Amino acid sequence: MNYYIVIPAYNEEAFIALTLQSLVEQTVLPKKVVVVNDNSTDKTAKIVTVFTKEHSFISLVNKTSSAVHLPGSKVIQAFHKGFETLDNNYDIIVKLDADLIFPSNYFETIIKHFQSDSKVGMVGGFCYIEKNGDWILENLTDKDHIRGALKAYRKETFKQIGGLKPAMGWDTVDELLAKFYNWKVVTDSSLIVKHLKPTGANYNKAARFKQGEAFYTLGYGILITAIASAKLAMMKKRPLLFIDYLQGFCKAKSAQKPLLVTEEQASFIRKYRFRKMKEKLFQKFILL
């Protein structure tokens, strides 16, 4: 199976060479890698250019945009810029962050998952961060969720879900829509990826409001949003973030922001979320 990779990059001179080196050392090489230099002010473009000269499957695209980082929209707009340069001769499309180091068998294993079942629509490994000299799981999400840093999609799935949405919540709505269309989402705990820059390192209060807005645009409703906000705040060990998330949700609701999904899809998402919550509560009850 042919796989193409798009990597949005903004001021990643400290990491991009490590990411690209881990890609050129894959046991199954990508057919194409596009790095989108999104208005970087450092040496990101120069570093990528070195790789483009040595590896014909790597290319560089330059994009001009605001330096303001709001999760979701900026990175996905950059992804779209890179995706537009690709042809249609791929079986798997991959969106990666520019601060990752992959094990050499990462994409060989990803491909095997796709080949094992034609209904597998998305596959990913797990991000680990360095802490006190050890690499530990970056435990910000459930184990059945693929992090936005390393998304791999079957072409048919990618097209059916309508590609990636340029808004915060894109890396949740993609999986929920995949499930809506009866695709399987697979995570592989054996695939340990080093994440060199922890998620949210540059997030400000406006970005946290955007998280609450994302819960609204996903069609969660207030109850699921409250539970999701509390869980996320506790996982980040910052309980007061709960307030920012709820404020973001309420502002989006008052402004009647458009949803990222249809009413039918929103209904499916709420039912799916409630079912997952009940399953987890039941599992905890059994353990007790």
Closest among 221, 225, 235 to 263, alpha carbons compared: 221
What whole-number distance in Å separates Cα of residue 172 and Cα of residue 113?
Answer: 21
Q: What is the pLDDT of residue 210?
A: 85
Query: What is the pLDDT, as a whole number, of residue 71?
Result: 60
> What is the pLDDT, as a whole number, of residue 8?
97
CA distance 169 to 258: 13
* Pairing assessment for the beta strands 120-131 and 150-154 based on DSSP bridges: antiparallel
Assess if CATH 3.40.50.1970 describes domain 3-195: no
One-letter amino acid for residue 198 of the chain: P
Helix (H) or strand (E) holding 86: none
Listing DSSP states for 101-169 in one string gives E--TTHHHHHHHHHHH-TTEEEEEEEEEEEETTEEEE--SS-TTS--TTEEEEEHHHHHHTTS--SSTT
pLDDT value at residue 72: 66
CA atoms within 13 A on the CB side of 22: 21
Q: How is the chain split into domains, by residue range?
A: 3-195, 205-287
pLDDT of res. 73: 81
Predicted structure pTM score: 0.90
What DSSP designation does 62 have? E
Q: Would you give the DSSP letter of residue 220?
A: -
Enter the DSSP assignment of 285.
H
Per-residue pLDDT of the chain (288 residues; tens, 9 = 90+): 999 999 999 999 999 999 999 999 999 999 999 999 999 999 999 999 999 999 999 999 999 876 555 566 889 999 999 999 999 999 999 999 999 999 999 999 999 999 999 999 999 999 999 998 899 998 767 788 999 999 999 999 999 999 999 988 899 999 999 999 999 999 999 999 999 987 655 556 677 788 899 999 999 999 999 998 998 888 878 888 899 999 999 999 999 999 999 999 999 999 999 898 888 777 766 665
